[in-house]
Structure 1
Amino acid sequence: MTPAKSFTQALAARFAEGAARTALLCLDGEGTADAHTYRELDARARSVAAALLRRRTAGRPVLISMDGGPHTVAALLGCLYAGAVAVPVPPPDASRAAAERTHAIATETDAAVLLTESAHAPELSRRLAEAGRSAVVCLAVDCLPEDGADWTPPALDGADTALLQYTSGSTAAPRGVQVTHANLLATMEALRATLGTDQDSRIGGWLPLHHDLGLIGQLLHPLWLGATAVLMPGRRFAADPLSWLREVARHGVTVTAAPDSAYARCLAEATDDDLAGLDLSALTTAVNASEPVSAVTLSAFAHRFTAAGLRPGVLAAGYGLAEATLLVSLADRVPPAPATVSAEGLERGELTPPVPGHPVRALAGCGPARGVTVRIVDPESRAVLPDGSVGEIWVRGETVADGYWRRPLETAATFGHATTSGEYGFLRTGDLGALRDGELYLTGRIKDALLVDGRTLHPQEAERQLAQSGAPFGSAVVLSTPAEHEEIVAIQEIRGAGWSRRQLADLAERVRGCLHEEFGASLGGVVLVRPGTVRRTTSGKVRRSLMRELYLRGELRPLYASAPPYAAEGG
């Protein structure tokens, strides 16, 4: 069989081969499944493509703003069928911050068309007009006529851009990664080899389709395989985390994925009765990725859900990012035990054995590189570091994109770098980690790392300790503020109501004590806030840069603050 020249060509061939097979199960808020065959998806994609081609969108960005049901899938496939550049954005009923993100993406891409549903088209048109984008045409996918009988695959090759995957914006403004057809084809092969997926797989979850793991891992991959994608509404997971696992069990899902915080929420809420009603024995792989993975969460989840039929080796930590299309590494089916290392060694940038009587850290292994080359590099000298040394993770391979949409400076800063040993073409991820015996361990992000008395403190570890320190503590953010000497501030969510000022002061001291005991860190301030204050991306990552800005501008509206927010000159 001749290899496909584009991802669109590969999809069209797969759709023709398995026309009668079930391609898609879309679950509603009650868990009712709406099934669609490959023949039905192909027909809808052709209709969308015909409408787009009439508007001359080939090679141009097309925004997609929907709720994640079958019309969203038709819109995504229609863009591919038309040779347009699909740009998934948050759904129309998302938060104000999500709406602002959509407006910014519409401006940056200069898209002329937005695909949505008839129920949302008038409101989206109004919002775009208010944002100065009144020329954008909002097409309702659910109202398009059946009009694709004469469709033929567009003349595309691997170098053509298939979609713009906007980054989460957890540490910087969102940027549109130019994912090519070649990137997608290489990623599909890597996923198949890594996960062992085939036409009999059922792959699904609740992650939104404007997130790379949801779009590429849980929709495009099963469609490329000729398998079945099972899409669950994210709002249902938000209201009832265990609904995710119940639907995985009910529909025989074999591969699922979610961020660490999702597994932690299920752990916190599952009762013995819940476990007795679950059968997770069909699962072959449950990926924990898209945010820092906790070794504690991995171990506790694997142990707790054994009672629900979860088999050993199913839960696997992974690492990836939009700039590498999706996947960089994933733990083996029989994962190694978490690496227990010296906390002091980690602060010096080395994975060293624990010292009796001294603090330790448990690191989750994210497996070997999958279809790419990974190097650990000193971010300043660009020298490749030896095994066990912490440095910046650099990635090279066919899945790595060429750059960001219309951002030449950011592209030059991130893509196409060379090490001092003469290896070229690397992506600088901005993530910190180490390789040991081929296993990748993540330790943090360069932009997040805090310098405390000459030591490097990774805030994710501190935040995890705070969140696990018992009631009434919820999510936390630990960050630095500019001062004569860099100060560390903890923003801690507090559950419940009716707290007296004395009680809040005691809780603030608990935060101070936890961080000092675990990390030897003295805080410049503790800010206690209501649940929901800590902003997160769609995948669950803390939006650290935004939280820092809100703190510095004094916009957090704290329940209690042990030190006034720092205000720099000019804001």
Structure 2
Amino acid sequence: MSLLSLGAEPLVGRVARWAQERPGDPAYTFVDYSERREGTRRTLSWAETHRKASALAVRLREVTSEGERAAILAPQGLDYVVAVLGCLYAKVIAVPLFAPDLPGHGERLIRAVDDSAPEVVLTTAEARPGVERFLEEHPVKEVLTLDAIDDALAERWTPPAIALDDVAYLQYTSGSTRAPAGVEITHRNYGSNALQLFDAFDADPATSTAVLWLPLFHDMGLIATVAAPLVAGNNAVFMDPVAFIMHPLRWLQVLSEYGDAFTGGPNFAYEYCAGRITEEQKASLDLRGVRVFLNGAEPVRPSTLARFQEAFAGCGLRPESQTPAYGLAEATVFVSNGRWDAPAKITVFDRDELTRGRAVPVGEPAGDGGDERVSRLASAGAATGQHVLIVDPATRLARPDGEVGEIWVHGPNVARAYWNNPERSEETFRARLAGPVAGLPEGPWLRTGDLGVVHEGELYVTGRIKDVIIVDGRNHYPQDVEVTAQEAHEAIRTDHVAAFAVPGEETERLVIVAERSRRAPEDLDPAELAKVVRRAVNARHDLRLHDFVLVPAGTVPRTSSGKIARQACRHRYLDGTLQG
């Protein structure tokens, strides 16, 4: 059997394979910073991983049955990995969530638990008291404590017959534009996307090490941390997201320990590292061994790629290691990426033409760029093991290269449905082309809701359909306006700006909500700042700014994956609950 083909075997079956072939090799390593500043490492070998997953599977089958749901309400750690794999072993549908004490996500947790209706909740001894308080209003049949399960139960485990099209888990979306929905990820989706990601990382079997901090309940964290290492028996080293947020240096320090490593994160993580890690701290870093810094899960800013490269070039960071990517939960996670062996491709497009739906490349503007009317976009490269097509969402006809439309995806990694939502599933997962395209199927296609364009064979993501700001009949992409606003004055916090439209008498009106930066002077006049932003937006976009709201840090809502939740911010603005 080829390591890089799924075949008829579900990917989870490879745990047992590595447990037999390389029982003592490290499988998953958790760096725990809760007790010691330098962290404590805890590792499961492949044999230990298999044994613990088998024991959990036996216990699950004692309290529930195949096809039922088991919600994981546990903190980041090795127990979480075992919870996911144990559910797959038992043929129980996992629902990767988080402990109720995770700040800022209480409503999302309630909606996901109510929607999935799990029979079982998996947690840890430490988190159990909080989980039990949460379950007083959301009762379930059984609560299992992961770190109290007897490994000896593994002796009683017998593998069930798992088909590739059986549902493996429900991935709840982060809810940037709608209420969270459970994406049904099958074993085929899970395995196919892990293979696609492994290929994109150009990882060496059993040698390359994954180093990550992404939350395991998020699609990117789950696939990169838990699934991708299964492909060829590689080691995954991970930490709690809070450990990264408190001290971003930790992420790069762990990466520095490996001569062959790959990692990934959203754009804000790279911006955060470049802004927070000091020159003195950089002296401890050696990033020569990092082959891929995947940048995805939110819009990739060319300015962030440049800033991260400038900040860490002295630490051995190779320009080609920064790899922009595109993906979404409905495609399991991963869709396309830039080349891993070449620097990220940045193309400058005429902004006015983009608003008209055409991608027209132009040269870099001369001068200081203060009045430039261009958009710099990072290429998300080409799809791996799947098809990507740009389609007119109204006519369902494919658009030629250079024309903006909705991004449609077809491949073995595309999920089949939303849990308990047939109407929305039909709309999203079963789209069909209205006209033939040579070499491509008529359907079914995934409608991503994202806008993009193919230029010179590569995908550029321009925005979300629901976020597009339409003023006087012209389309404006909010991320462009947000960059203009944050670059207008140092008082505005980078990557913490939301631009959106509100109803007007004759046309939509532009509103910008921005968080106050730590660099803002104490005597800052918000009215004067608004004037500066207004002038910049008018000059660069020919847009009139209806309202500018400066808010404290932490006010602009974000999804669980770190994306700016523009629609949520818009709702708070309209109902007057923004703290200005």
Q: Which residue of 2 aligns with 1:379?
A: 393
The RMSD of aligned alpha carbons is 1.8
Q: Which residue of 2 aligns with 1:526?
A: 548
* Alignment check: 8 A CA contact 2:489 2:532 kept: no
Distance 2:53 2:295 in 1: 32
* Alignment check: 8 A CA contact 1:4 1:10 kept: no
Q: Which residue of 1 aligns with 2:430?
A: 416
Specify the code of the residue in structure 2 equivalent to 1:200. Answer: T
More displaced 10-residue stretch of structure 1: 79-88 or 469-478? 469-478
| 1:437 counterpart (431, 435, 456) | 456
Q: Which residue of 2 aligns with 1:86?
A: 94
1:476 correspondence with 2:497: yes
More displaced 10-residue stretch of structure 1: 3-12 or 304-313? 3-12
Q: Which residue of 1 aligns with 2:536?
A: 514
Q: Which residue of 2 aligns with 1:153?
A: 159
| 1:61 counterpart (41, 58, 69) | 69
Distance 2:201 2:140 in 1: 44
Deviations 1:432-468 (A, max 9, x none): 0101121100100000000122221111121123233
* Alignment check: 8 A CA contact 2:488 2:533 kept: no
Q: Which residue of 1 aligns with 2:319?
A: 312
Distance 1:515 1:166 in 2: 36
Amino-acid identity (%): 37
More displaced 10-residue stretch of structure 1: 45-54 or 295-304? 295-304
Gaps of 5+ in 2: 367-371, 437-441
Cα offset for 1:251? 4.7
Which of structure 1's runs of 4+ aligned residues deviate more than 4 A? Answer: 355-358, 496-500
Distance 2:131 2:529 in 1: 44
Give me the TM-score of the superposition, normalised by structure 2. 0.92
Cα offset for 1:4? 4.1
Deviations 1:13-36 (A, max 9, x none): 233222111011100113322122
* Alignment check: 8 A CA contact 2:15 2:49 kept: no
Residues 1:232 and 1:19: Cα distance change in structure 2 (over 3 Å): same
More displaced 10-residue stretch of structure 1: 220-229 or 314-323? 220-229
How many residues are treated as equivalent by the alignment?
Answer: 554
Q: Which residue of 1 aligns with 2:483?
A: 464
Q: Look up the SS of the partner of 2:222 in the other structure.
A: helix
| 2:182 counterpart (162, 176, 188) | 176
Residues 1:498 and 1:335: Cα distance change in structure 2 (over 3 Å): closer
| 1:194 counterpart (181, 195, 200) | 200
Residues 1:304 and 1:362: Cα distance change in structure 2 (over 3 Å): same
Distance 1:109 1:408 in 2: 14
Residues 1:336 and 1:41: Cα distance change in structure 2 (over 3 Å): closer
Q: Look up the SS of the partner of 1:521 in the other structure.
A: coil
Cα offset for 1:530? 0.6
Cα offset for 1:9? 2.2
Q: Which residue of 2 aligns with 1:28?
A: 32
Distance 1:315 1:252 in 2: 17
Please list, as runs of the form range in 1=range in 2, the aligned pairs for 1:333-352 lying within 5 A after superposition: 333-335=341-343, 337-352=345-360
Distance 1:40 1:312 in 2: 38
Cα offset for 1:247? 1.8
Residues 1:510 and 1:279: Cα distance change in structure 2 (over 3 Å): same
Distance 2:265 2:399 in 1: 31
Cα offset for 1:311? 1.6
Q: Look up the SS of the partner of 1:464 in the other structure.
A: helix
* Alignment check: 8 A CA contact 2:121 2:140 kept: no
Q: Look up the SS of the partner of 1:525 in the other structure.
A: strand
* Alignment check: 8 A CA contact 1:128 1:136 kept: no
Specify the code of the residue in structure 2 equivalent to 1:403. Answer: A
1:257 correspondence with 2:259: no
Distance 2:231 2:503 in 1: 49
Cα offset for 1:243? 2.0
Gaps of 5+ in 1: 559-571
Q: Which residue of 2 aligns with 1:486?
A: 508
Residues 1:557 and 1:53: Cα distance change in structure 2 (over 3 Å): same
Q: Which residue of 2 aligns with 1:399?
A: 413
Q: Look up the SS of the partner of 1:381 in the other structure.
A: coil
Q: Which residue of 2 aligns with 1:565?
A: none
Q: Which residue of 2 aligns with 1:137?
A: 142
Q: Look up the SS of the partner of 1:536 in the other structure.
A: coil
Deviations 1:352-380 (A, max 9, x none): 13276751111101111111111101111
Please list, as runs of the form range in 1=range in 2, the aligned pairs for 1:46-125 lying within 5 A after superposition: 46-95=54-103, 97-125=104-132
Q: Which residue of 2 aligns with 1:126?
A: 133
Distance 2:48 2:484 in 1: 49
Distance 1:52 1:414 in 2: 33
Q: Look up the SS of the partner of 1:172 in the other structure.
A: coil
Q: Look up the SS of the partner of 1:417 in the other structure.
A: coil
Deviations 1:228-270 (A, max 9, x none): 0011110011112222112211355611000011111111223
* Alignment check: 8 A CA contact 2:451 2:463 kept: yes
Q: Which residue of 1 aligns with 2:439?
A: none
Q: Which residue of 2 aligns with 1:7?
A: 11
Distance 2:96 2:65 in 1: 15
Give me the TM-score of the superposition, normalised by structure 1. 0.93
Distance 1:13 1:548 in 2: 50
| 2:20 counterpart (16, 24, 32) | 16
| 1:546 counterpart (554, 560, 568) | 568
Distance 1:103 1:171 in 2: 17
* Alignment check: 8 A CA contact 1:493 1:531 kept: yes
Q: Look up the SS of the partner of 1:539 in the other structure.
A: coil
Distance 2:415 2:393 in 1: 20
Q: Look up the SS of the partner of 2:105 in the other structure.
A: helix
Specify the code of the residue in structure 1 equivalent to 2:17. Answer: A
Specify the code of the residue in structure 1 equivalent to 2:538. Answer: H
Residues 1:362 and 1:297: Cα distance change in structure 2 (over 3 Å): same
1:369 correspondence with 2:383: yes
Deviations 1:402-449 (A, max 9, x none): 111111111011011111223211100000010112110010000000
* Alignment check: 8 A CA contact 1:480 1:489 kept: yes
* Alignment check: 8 A CA contact 2:213 2:251 kept: yes
Distance 1:189 1:122 in 2: 38
Residues 1:128 and 1:349: Cα distance change in structure 2 (over 3 Å): same
